Structure 1
Amino acid sequence: MIVLGRISEAFGIQGWVRVQAFGDDPLSWRRMPKWWLSSDPDAADDAWRPVGLRACRAQGKGIVAAFAEVEDRNGAEALAGLYIGAPRDALPETASGEYYWGDLVGLSVENKAGVVLGVVDSLVSTGAHDVLQIRDGEVERLIPFVAAYVLDVDLDAKRILVDWEADW
């Protein structure tokens, strides 16, 4: 499962929820007729509960969503804190040069000199740009996920090439 976001709270009285999105284009999720919910973002795929998407729209700086199975505020309040996910094959295709965070986690990161800096452990959204959190044993590196530093992402080779020195 790819974790897309988290339900933060109920919105209104007709079963809508406010969603904290973990990506750049959450409105593209409207193309998925089902979303999957879980209290644990690391749960096994069969622990995620599918729900039918009734509607999804922009609201302020975020999004709100309504599910077929939830008709009122009480039902929406019960969903607060749950994670939203989807199997990778259910997600909309990304544009060229765009990636789902889940596709980047686990990729090896090496610099132009061929030095392996570690593996992508997670990503952090700073508002200005995303940051790759790289782990190599006890060493952690934070590399901005911007074109100035990330030169190539090769999902097939499971490798990210960066302009970053090992001692930075």
Structure 2
Amino acid sequence: MLGKIGKAYGILGWVKIISFTENIQDIFRYRNWYIHKNNIWTQINLEKWKYSSNSHPIAKFKSIEKREVISNFTHSNIVIDYSQLPKLSNNTYYWRDLIGCLLYKKNGKKIGKVVNLIETKYNDVMIVQSYQTHQKFAIPFLKSIVRDVDILNRKIAINGDMIDFT
């Protein structure tokens, strides 16, 4: 998810955009967005964007000329096709690639499954659901802890000998 559609802005089909990208304006690098509303996926194509008078990003979409039409998409999530994302260098990952991976100790013992990630001021943190207790716990995604990431086989190995997961 790249962001959310905010409230309509003006009467000509402009809308406020809430960006979840690291740099706010990076959301506008992608032109074909998908919006999910009422169990229906709708593709909308970005026509142009700018900052409003109070420095919020606003956008205009092709074929949407009225406030009433764009208002129907308020609070909808903005997603793109995965193929639009740039290729990453080695040892960097999209969160979507890590979620669902199985987490193992270096001795091969299965610990749990990555169910989410969160961003902190200093590093990303994996939220893992334990196989034994079904409780969730947090593990920092740091080189000193994460030993190996195998996206193809959906596995993450950690140096967890000093961490008790029971």
TM-score (norm 1): 0.73
Partner SS for 1:55:
strand
User: Counterpart in 2 of 1:4?
Assistant: 2
* 1:91-118 C-alpha deviation (Å, 9 max, x unpaired): 2323433322211111111122322221
Q: Which has the larger radius of gyration?
A: 2
Pick aligned residue for 1:36 from 5, 20, 34? 34
Contact 1:10 1:18 (8 Å CA) reproduced:
no
Pick aligned residue for 2:47 from 32, 42, 54? 54
Gaps of 5+ in 1: none
Partner SS for 2:2:
strand
TM-score (norm 2): 0.74
User: Counterpart in 1 of 2:136?
Assistant: 140
Partner SS for 1:48:
strand
User: Counterpart in 2 of 1:68?
Assistant: 62
1:122 Cα deviation after fit: 1.4
CA distance in 2, matches of 1:61, 1:99: 31
CA RMSD between the two structures: 3.1
Higher relative contact order (CA 8 A, sep 6+): 1
User: Counterpart in 1 of 2:74?
Assistant: 80
Contact 2:3 2:17 (8 Å CA) reproduced:
no
User: Counterpart in 1 of 2:105?
Assistant: 111
Counterpart AA for 1:148: S
